[in-house]
Amino acid sequence: MQEHFTQEVENLKTNLIKMASVVDDMVERSIQAIETGDVELCKGIKAKDLEVDAYDNLIQTQCENILALFQPFATDLRFVLSSLMINNQLERCGDIAVNISQRIKKTYSNKTLIDESQITEMAKKAKEMLRKAIDAFVLKNKELAQEVLKSDEEVDQLNKHSFKYLVEHMKSDSALIETGAHLLILSRHIERLADHATNIAENIIFFIDGNLVSHYRKLQNLKD
């Protein structure tokens, strides 16, 4: 029985890593498109999202089967619960990569505006956060996960700057309203990508040592 359980857990971890690799590639290509303005990089991203959705269904089923058949506890239970949550976050990251690619197709000709609004910088930071979160899972590295949590505030600040910058330019030049609207949405997608990377990191910390750090910063701010 124990050998069967160990094999099921290893299969689950393998599929999560495979799913994470596909999502990482999707995000990498969509962010590169922002950095370079090369919309050709966006080709195939939507098709890959179908692969991510298939992994999502598979991993959810695996988790449910492990819980039903083996009734794990302690670290094993935390791993399965964390895997369910990480699976959900990765699926959303895949959706966001698709959304980013669709917006960049509408805005790539305004590369200067994208760079000056710091959307490019924010995108690179969010991409780095997701990659660190994935590495933290693969390596079971709490320190990497904590680095992701620390970076979330940087992305939030860049998002605020981007919003203010774009709104000011849309007010001063009505010709920028359509492009600016797309970029505001693009900025929001990137900020959400960073949030999902943060959520993955929080679940990794929970799996490793059992500490619940979800919403920690917001709760601390309420206390302060």
DSSP 27-75: HHHHHHHHHH--GGGGTTHHHHHHHHHHHHHHHHHHHHHHHHHH---HH
- Report the 10 Å Cβ neighbour count for 79: 20
pLDDT of residue 2: 82
Higher pLDDT, 223 or 138: 138
pLDDT of 218 over the 60 cut: no
Question: How large is the average pLDDT for residues 23-46?
Answer: 96
Closest by CA position to 189, among listed 130, 140, 137, 143: 130
CB neighbour list of residue 112: distance below 8 Å, 6 or more residues apart:
none
DSSP classification of residue 110: G
Query: pLDDT digits over 152-195, tens only?
Result: 999 999 999 999 999 999 999 999 999 999 999 999 999 999 99
pLDDT of 38 over the 80 cut: yes
pLDDT of residue 217: 56
Q: For the chain, which residues make up each domain, given as ranges?
A: 2-219
For 2-219, CATH number out of 3.20.20.70, 1.20.58.220, 3.40.50.720, 3.90.660.10 equals 1.20.58.220
Question: How large is the average pLDDT for residues 14-43?
Answer: 97
